[in-house]
């Protein structure tokens, strides 16, 4: 069995294959008291009972990378593969220092490049990222505040605004506070994304992924990809012969 861990600022995503079926699990990463043992105990029982042969990790949280590595060594007696630089990507990455580019952005870029010769991949998570890849040349990146973080910041700083569940709204103007907030946050974010798409390359294929992608699905034309980072990890695995 192979395990794929995508460690983000808010969640850890886990993927493995069981009986020809892809399984996905998600764990919160905000718990500062998490330990090697408590993390192992969070894993699904069917993983614990199986023979784990390989573990792959992408991470933007160094503390959790270390924790995960030690957990894998202790309980599975193997060395996990950290999918970060220096690693073969098959891409030219235009960055002042490629080592500073997040492992998630690398995996997303590799995934997009495997699907299209000219693409923009958008990932909506804790932050919103936009990456343009053309003919295996990563032109550059954009990092913006994420949907949920922007919304929570507004609520925290505006005494009379209530906490609500954000929902996509069809109209342009709202008639109550809940509608107004949903339109402002979700359509506002979508207009930002569409503006960047027009400015970067309106002819590029658009891939959209991430935990908050469903909130903009009705506003932005594109190909919505479930777990694009993990799919990119598998491309990296193949490229590097792991």
* Full strand arrangement of the beta sheet holding 11-18: 21-28, 11-18, 2-7, 54-59, 81-82
Q: What predicted TM-score, i.e. pTM, was given to this entire model?
A: 0.90
47 marked as binding residue:
no
Does 13 belong to an annotated binding site? yes
Q: What's the CATH number for 2-82?
A: 3.30.420.40
Cα distances (Å, whole numbers) of residue 39 to 18, 27, 43, 76: 21, 9, 7, 13
What separation in angstroms does the CA of 168 have from each of 11, 130, 199?
23, 21, 25
**pLDDT tens-digit series, residues 176-212:** 999 999 999 999 999 999 999 999 999 999 999 999 9
User: Measured between alpha carbons, how far is 209 from 125 in angstroms, rounded to an integer?
Assistant: 8
Q: Which of 31, 37, 104, 205 is catalytic?
A: 104
pLDDT digits (tens, 9 = 90+) for 230-242: 999 999 999 998 8
Residues of the chain with pLDDT under 50: none
Which tokens belong to 47?
């993983």
* pLDDT score, position 31: 67
User: Residues of CATH 3.30.420.40 domain(s) within the chain?
Assistant: 2-82, 92-240
Class of the CATH-defined domain 92-240: alpha beta
User: Does the annotation list 8 as a binding residue?
Assistant: yes
Establish whether 126 is an annotated binding residue: yes
DSSP one-letter code for 161 = P
pLDDT the model gives residue 242: 86
Is 31 annotated as catalytic?
no
Q: What is the pLDDT of residue 21?
A: 85
């Amino acid at each position: 069995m192979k395990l794929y861990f995508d460690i983000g600022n808010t969640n850890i995503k886990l993927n493995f294959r069981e009986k020809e079926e892809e399984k996905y699990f998600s764990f919160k990463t905000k718990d500062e008291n998490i330990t090697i043992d408590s993390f192992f105990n969070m894993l699904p029982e069917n993983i614990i009972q199986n023979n784990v042969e390989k573990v792959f990790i992408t991470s933007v949280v160094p503390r959790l990378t270390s924790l995960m590595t030690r957990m894998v060594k202790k309980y599975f007696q193997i060395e996990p593969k950290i999918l970060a630089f220096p690693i073969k990507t098959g891409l030219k990455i235009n960055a002042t220092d490629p080592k500073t580019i997040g492992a998630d952005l690398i995996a997303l870029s590799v995934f997009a490049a495997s699907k299209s010769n000219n693409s923009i991949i958008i990932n909506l998570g804790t932050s919103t990222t936009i990456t343009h890849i053309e003919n295996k040349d990563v032109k550059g990146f954009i990092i913006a505040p994420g949907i949920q973080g922007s919304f929570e910041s507004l609520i925290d700083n505006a005494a009379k605004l209530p906490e609500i569940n954000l929902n996509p709204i069809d109209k342009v103007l709202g008639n109550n506070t809940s509608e107004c907030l949903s339109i402002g946050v979700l359509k506002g974010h979508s207009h930002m994304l569409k503006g960047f798409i027009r400015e970067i390359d309106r002819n590029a294929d658009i891939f959209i992924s991430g935990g908050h992608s469903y909130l903009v699905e009705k506003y932005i034309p594109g190909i919505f990809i479930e777990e694009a980072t993990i799919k990119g990890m598998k491309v990296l695995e193949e490229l590097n012969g792991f």
